[in-house]
Amino acid sequence: MTAHLSTPPAQPWMRVTAWLRWSWPWVLLLVIATTALAVPWLAGEQSADFAAALRAPGSGAVLGTDHSGYDLGVRTAQGLRISLVMAAVCAVVSTVIGLVIGIGAAMAGGWLDALVMRAVDAVNALPHLVLGVVIAAMWRGEPVAIVASIALTHWPAVARVVRAELLATRSAGWIEMAHLAGATRTFIATRHLLPAVTGQALVAMTVLLPHAVWHETTLSFLGVGLSPDAASLGTLLGQARGDVLTGAWWTLVVPGVALIVTALACMAAGSTLRRRMAPPTGEVW
């Protein structure tokens, strides 16, 4: 008599663990975004109170106050909101530029493809931060300049990924079968090729988020990003350089921790999304 073996059903705790492995970065990002939106709204309009400047964390201000007397927790939430919005816009613009250039190079082929990729190599070889500082310094304090300085230096990675994925899909057997069946190039491009690169573009955009957060913060910290009166993580950290020398350590720690947690959450979200969309290797998610 032959025994029939069957796979035991997954235990509830195993399902919860598998869900947490995929979802915790996105839950953390949702919490960060909700905090950035809700805290300033609940706190209402703030005004400078120099009599309350640089108060240590306590009952009056849970996370302390900055050198202008603003509640540092509220101010950090405002800066986090601005930094996230700027980073999201930069990531979307970079992805769109890389998507257009990568698709154009792959579809053109031949010498034009080679020429475009050499241009991609040239842009990728430039020091991104230095080039970003130059672009942002030309229109100091303008959000458009910050978006341009980050987007124009981060699209080559997206273009490379999209081009490679598109070339691999074009050489697949089922694409050749579609050609033989009489499908037009427009039909194949819209129904098969573009959906194939959409997932890679989404992964690239998510991976770009932490880079955009770091670069926007660095530009504002160096004084070529947003104006000092605008609450972003970079401007708060820039102002904390002088305050921390007087013993006001919280002015550096609070926005610094917010920056690190946000960047790590974005990196973890991009990593999990990349693994999720990778070809199956037998691992259960």
DSSP character string of 122-177: HHHHS-HHHHHHHHHHHTTT-HHHHHHHHHHHHHHHHHHHHHHHHHHHHTSHHHHH
Residue 269 sits at the vertex; the CA angle it makes with 205 and 164, to the nearest 5 degrees, is: 40
pLDDT at 269 over 70: yes
Mean pLDDT of the chain: 81
* 194-252 per-position pLDDT tens digit: 777 777 788 888 888 888 888 888 888 888 888 877 788 888 998 888 888 888 899 99
Ordered domains of the chain (ranges, CATH): 27-39+71-277 (1.10.3720.10)
With a pLDDT cut of 70, the percent of the chain lying above it is 82
pLDDT at 253: 92
* 54-101 per-position pLDDT tens digit: 888 886 788 888 888 888 999 999 989 988 888 889 888 988 898 888
| pTM (2 d.p.) | 0.79
